Amino acid sequence: MNQQTQVASTTFVKFEQEHILPIPETKRTGTPWSLFAIWVGLNMMPLAVVTGAVASGGYGLPIGWSIVAILVGNVIGAIGAALHAAQGPHLGIPQMLQARAQFGYQGGGLFAIIALVMFLGFFASILIVAKDSLAVVFPEVNGSLAILVFAAIGVVLCVFGYDLLRRTMVYLSVLIGVTVAITMPLLWLKPDVTAPRADVAFSYEGFFGMLAIGIVWQLAYAPYVSDYTRYLPKKTGPKSAFWSTYLGLVGSSVFVMALGVLLGAANPNNPLAALSDHLGWIGIIALIIFAVSSALINGVELYCAVMNALTVLQSSFRMTVTTSTRVVTTLVCGAVATLVALLGQGDFMATFESFLLLLLYVLIPWSAINLADYFIIRRGHYVVVDLFARDGGQYGRWNRVGLTSYAIGLAAQLPFMVTPLFTGPLAAPLRNLDLAWLIGFVVTGVAYLLMVRLTNTAGAGTAGSELPLTPPAARP
């Protein structure tokens, strides 16, 4: 009987039952390899291609400098994302739910809302780029219909949950990796793609702007990396979670964005069209693969949006989160993001670049506080039961130290911001170099550490980090 059960569990996809609850050790079926495959597959999409194209097509950087900026940005940003991922096997809970320890039970809900908006935005962005990929091959296709079909695929995957998403990403990482490995060398061999252009030149503004985009691309994963590493057995340890995440994120994102650099150099206005223009039928096949895979990959984005939506609901209302709640929330979130995609099919490149910069500024202070709290203040010791208690337990409903530190971090970034809507007064003397992210991270982290010491709250939450012995939903 046990053998039959074991065979069945490895043959059939498991329908997720845990949602935002801590994952019991007996249900932690993840492995470092499957985690690596998730992050590799998640970057293997046309949205990463379009992001890479911003360097050569948007900022007008030469191909070599574009790739250097992308490499440095992703290498730096992925450190933060992977450090967040290292928390998953230890605590077994979603990433943004753990923010309750730094900002309070209801304060953490504010940051879950920010993450929710971010993931819905990525879901919508991926739908638009997938539609654009398909439209290059089939110009007569109805764009709105394509978005609806792709959205439905992502929603179905998300409804099934972690196990189906994990298996899907393993296969996609191989398929799209081969696709990029074939198309990139072929583009390098095209003189009209790699030949120097008169309108291209190195600029500090462009280089640091693209470096910042590389950082935010990786930090955008930080609010949900633990959503997947929480499925690793606790004995796997933080090092495996860190390196599986870090290598998967950096290797795949730099690889695919480098392809985007070539396509942006070939066609700044429509990078995806450059695939079919320069590679013929090979490029057409690549575009179809990109379009279909994006619909599948999008299930991961929606899954993380749902985890944050459930965290917000539980923080705001007296309710028991169930599997039915997760499914209904998935359908609602999917519908909202799809509507955004349908309404946002216009000037996508400029809108998306602004969206990435905005994410950078709001994520940096949260990341600094979370990492300082986990690795320096509490050193991984949290009372998980209190994270689900409506009064916040020892973490309270609102944590003034965390919220004040976050406000300080946002304010510190303002004078250095460089965005299409606002440029800080200190940006011009720095030749419009986007250093706000670095200043925001350092100032926020220092402010949080000092305020914790001054308010004598360093010892809070160090009593233990075991999983609840009773279901958190049943606790007050």
| Contact criterion met (CB below 8 Å) for 50 and 272 | yes
Tokens of 241: 């979670």
- Is the overall model pTM greater than 0.95, yes or no? no
Beta-carbon contacts of 184 under 8 Å, excluding residues fewer than 6 positions away, are 255, 258, 259, 262
Q: Biggest alpha carbon distance in the chain?
A: 72
In sequence order, the β-bridge partners of residue 418 are: 423
Q: What are the phi and psi torsion angles at 418 (to 5°)?
A: -130, 100
The amino acid present at 323, given as its one-letter code, is: T
In this predicted structure, what is the pLDDT of residue 71?
A: 96
Three-state DSSP at 476 gives coil
| H helix runs in 220-280, sequence order | 226-229, 237-266, 273-279
Which portions of the chain are predicted below pLDDT 70?
Answer: 1-13, 198, 346-357, 360, 457-476
In sequence order, the β-bridge partners of residue 423 are: 418
Tokens of 408: 């300080």
Beta-carbon contacts of 201 under 8 Å, excluding residues fewer than 6 positions away, are 60, 61, 62
10 Å Cβ neighbour count for 155? 22
In this predicted structure, what is the pLDDT of residue 464?
A: 42
In this predicted structure, what is the pLDDT of residue 114?
A: 85
In this predicted structure, what is the pLDDT of residue 407?
A: 95
| Contact criterion met (CB below 8 Å) for 256 and 172 | no
Q: Counting Cβ atoms within 10 Å, is residue 2 exposed (0-12), middle (13-18) or buried (19+)? A: exposed
Distance (Å, whole) CA 387 – CA 416 = 35
Q: Cα–Cα distances in Å, from 367 out to 3, 58, 220?
A: 44, 28, 10
Distance (Å, whole) CA 238 – CA 465 = 15
Nearest to 284 by CA among 292, 275, 293: 275
Domain coordinates in residue numbering, the chain: 28-474
**Radius of gyration from C-alpha coordinates of the chain:** 22
In this predicted structure, what is the pLDDT of residue 13?
A: 62
Distance of CA 134 to the CA centre of its chain: 24
CATH tag, 28-474: 1.10.4160.10
Size (the chain), residues: 476
In this predicted structure, what is the pLDDT of residue 422?
A: 77
In this predicted structure, what is the pLDDT of residue 250?
A: 94
Three-state DSSP at 50 gives helix
Q: For 326-354, what is each residue's pLDDT tens digit? A: 899 999 999 999 998 888 776 655 566 56
Where b means 16+ CB within 10 Å and e means fewer, 17-32 reads: ebbbbbbeeebbbbbb
Q: What are the phi and psi torsion angles at 423 (to 5°)?
A: -125, 125
Distance (Å, whole) CA 364 – CA 91 = 22
Q: For 249-292, what is each residue's pLDDT tens digit? A: 999 899 899 999 999 888 888 888 888 888 889 988 988 888 88
Count Cα neighbours of 471 within 13 Å in the Cβ-side half-sphere: 8
Distance (Å, whole) CA 194 – CA 189 = 8
